[in-house]
Structure 1
């Protein structure tokens, strides 16, 4: 632990050796890149600049860093809603002012766009865009592009409409990038981008536009990769942590289902799949016993693990039990998100003996950037893998996103560490699924595929 703190101090000193302007310039350079790794570097730089701005009370730097966090976080599908909200309140009022001439011009242009996008969602694997009025064929302009330099295909929909929500990135397993944005005041643009060629079909009917994106060829390639993993991957060491156990039942949800039982069953399924693929796998607990939070990452460090995955199940009170649902993945950070803090408080509750609240807060401050890039990547791959596997057999599996959180069980890990909330054990539908062996196996298979993808790309 002493070596870890020394390493973190050296990392902090190296950051301070660079001026704010140089880091900002570097972050903006990374932000322009199409590489996911560069986007992570940009996100991390902007987060560090944000902390510096708060400490130095530098409003201009704070504004620039918030804009960078929101943009890079959005590109990486990270929940940055709290930063986005802060950005809206931080922007100077002058940035919203327009001349009478410009205001009138914008009003005139908006009139031309007679349709508005009400919602966009995935339904039975198809993307469904719903508008406030019936669409005409001449309102949709579809074309494809191929960039010979980057070897990437782009499928573009220009729709004569406006949207009431902000631009957003959508996700589909097997597709590199899907972005929806307001191209100009009268045109809504949807861009589907991928390394491999896709089969894209669409059908405008009444006030809906349904887009079917076929990735059959891509999935076949991925399946063959999973069956014959790269030799190097077989040497990886993985530690799986089944949350709670023994005297600590974790959450007690629908029909008195206990978190400690469900997560152990999923963890064992995951272990069996990974071992069958040639990985070296250890579990912090393989039976119903209590293990202190601090001992779990210590165990992983002693095993020289390459990654640490802690499996948990979420829960809320009866009043909101029918509403709260979904799978979410967390990586370690001193998050300011209210949602993340509430989840972390529940998971941290089991072991409060070793440090008081202020001691933990101080320690979290020192490791805010530790392994953040790698853990963030791992969390995204685990989330994508789980959802892709479950969506093939189950309807309405909710993606609750990848988030940052101050989870004490991840503190001290000397490798990328992620906590996966596999669902809400308090939600009637999710709870019934979570206790069934078939669902557990599908979920574990998805997590294993996510791990394969992480090692393949990193």
Structure 2
């Protein structure tokens, strides 16, 4: 048994070094084996390919991975109903797509730039991209429909990211809409019944647009609202987010390097994340604002009561002294009945504070009743948070390790009626990582990255 576990861990660590095609070939070979250990390896490979497919929006790889998960899962007597349902849907999409391709060749041109965030700042609409904007990348023109009495100010940007249109709001402007005009062009349309003054600048990765209404009536209305001190409407952000700072009160969480306490570190990061998201126009609540103990089941209960759109639980990871200098990295977990050894170890630490009264067999039975309705959405949220945090941290700090997006049986996520994720911001037991985790600048950078991940998730979904 020890040899089997060691082999599985070996395959997981070498997975990133192999291409998708190599992993798929290896998994197909293992799945045909009569050995249960090989079949388990195949199942694990297919699951990792499935996560890669979701991250890269690779439909072909997703189809192959789902097919493998269902096949090997049945062999191992693993419950794969959710994957089976997805696989059947994928079959239908694949067949429809094949019929279309038989009559017409489709050439896909993918833009090199992607939209990463949209927000209003100091009266300007800021569009931020993942790369520096080029000289001729933004095409601006205006239209005036005299019959309808409408003025349109249009920006065509050689970029992509949005899967669906987004409507924005600003005082004194009738309509601002952002949508993917075609696979290669992102279109921003600013529409109004009276003429507008529109100015824009491109700097590095940002397109900054200043829009002002020339109409005296509009200026008077805006001025009167400012006088009343009404909060300015930012983006069309009616989303509700609940942030959960792990542990608290009598439960310190992990005690790490130089006796740093998990409950203190995660509360600081949670507060920074709350402040950033509120400044971007979201409604944000926290399960705990101070050093208080809250039962695990009451945390998601609070999120449900607030009708939250997403739930983010923030934690810091830990290992024993023997491995303290070796193990580090940022991880994001979403809820599932996963029984992987790594998920079990991490979940055991996070679950220990509140559910000791339930025995092992009781826990396993309860896990089998988990509603998998939000698992796919939670997986996507975890991927976006991981990407956001890593890209922001790596832009300022060296040796930031990606420990991956994983699934596991975390009790703090059980009962959430919305997509929910547990973020392990790093290992508080690792000397270098622990020093960063208690640093205010690092905490703010981490929070900014997570906030960018939240925006990416809402843009994509």
Match of 1:267? Answer: 270
Whether 1:306 and 2:284 are equivalent positions in the alignment is no
User: Of the candidates 340, 343, 358, which is equivalent to residue 340 of structure 1?
Assistant: 343
Q: Taking structure 2 as the reference length, what is the TM-score of the superposition?
A: 0.55
Match of 2:449? Answer: 446
1:69 Cα shift?
3.6
Alignment map for 1:375-390 (pairs within 5 Å)? 375-390=378-393
Match of 1:54? Answer: none
Whether 1:351 and 2:337 are equivalent positions in the alignment is no
Q: Distance in 1 between matches of 2:208 and 2:107?
A: 24
Q: SS at the partner of 2:242?
A: strand
User: Of the candidates 105, 108, 112, which is equivalent to residue 150 of structure 1?
Assistant: 108
Q: What are the superposed Cα offsets for residues 401-436 of structure 1, whole Å, 9 maximum, x if unpaired?
A: 000010000000000000000000000100000001
Distance 1:362 1:430, change over 3 A: same
Whether 1:75 and 2:61 are equivalent positions in the alignment is no
Match of 2:437? Answer: 434
Q: What are the superposed Cα offsets for residues 28-63 of structure 1, whole Å, 9 maximum, x if unpaired?
A: xxxxxxxxxxxxxxxxxxxxxx9xxxxxxx99x999
Q: What are the superposed Cα offsets for residues 322-381 of structure 1, whole Å, 9 maximum, x if unpaired?
A: 110000000001112111110000000111156433232222212262301100000000
Q: Distance in 1 between matches of 2:456 and 2:234?
A: 11
Alignment map for 1:164-175 (pairs within 5 Å)? 174=130
Q: SS at the partner of 2:368?
A: helix
Q: Taking structure 1 as the reference length, what is the TM-score of the superposition?
A: 0.55
Confirm or deny: 8 A CA contact 1:322 1:428 kept in the other structure. yes
Q: Distance in 1 between matches of 2:41 and 2:315?
A: 36
Q: Distance in 2 between matches of 1:428 and 1:391?
A: 18
Match of 1:220? Answer: 206
1:290 Cα shift?
0.4
Alignment map for 1:43-62 (pairs within 5 Å)? none
Match of 2:401? Answer: 398
1:309 Cα shift?
0.2
User: Of the candidates 296, 312, 325, which is equivalent to residue 328 of structure 2?
Assistant: 325
Q: SS at the partner of 1:273?
A: helix
Match of 1:372? Answer: 375
Runs of 5+ consecutive residues of structure 2 not aligned to the other structure = 1-30, 57-64, 77-104, 113-128, 132-159, 162-182, 186-201, 211-231
Confirm or deny: 8 A CA contact 1:239 1:308 kept in the other structure. yes
Match of 2:244? Answer: 241
Q: SS at the partner of 1:402?
A: strand
Match of 1:411? Answer: 414
Whether 1:297 and 2:300 are equivalent positions in the alignment is yes
Higher CA-based Rg: 2
Aligned-residue RMSD, C-alpha: 3.9
How many aligned positions are there?
284
Distance 1:151 1:416, change over 3 A: same
Runs of 5+ consecutive residues of structure 1 not aligned to the other structure = 1-49, 51-57, 92-146, 155-172, 176-192, 198-215
User: Of the candidates 339, 356, 360, which is equivalent to residue 363 of structure 2?
Assistant: 360
Match of 2:253? Answer: 250
Q: Distance in 2 between matches of 1:174 and 1:236?
A: 24
Match of 2:116? Answer: none
Confirm or deny: 8 A CA contact 2:234 2:281 kept in the other structure. no
Q: Distance in 2 between matches of 1:62 and 1:266?
A: 38
Distance 1:434 1:222, change over 3 A: farther
Q: SS at the partner of 2:206?
A: helix
Q: Distance in 1 between matches of 2:54 and 2:400?
A: 21
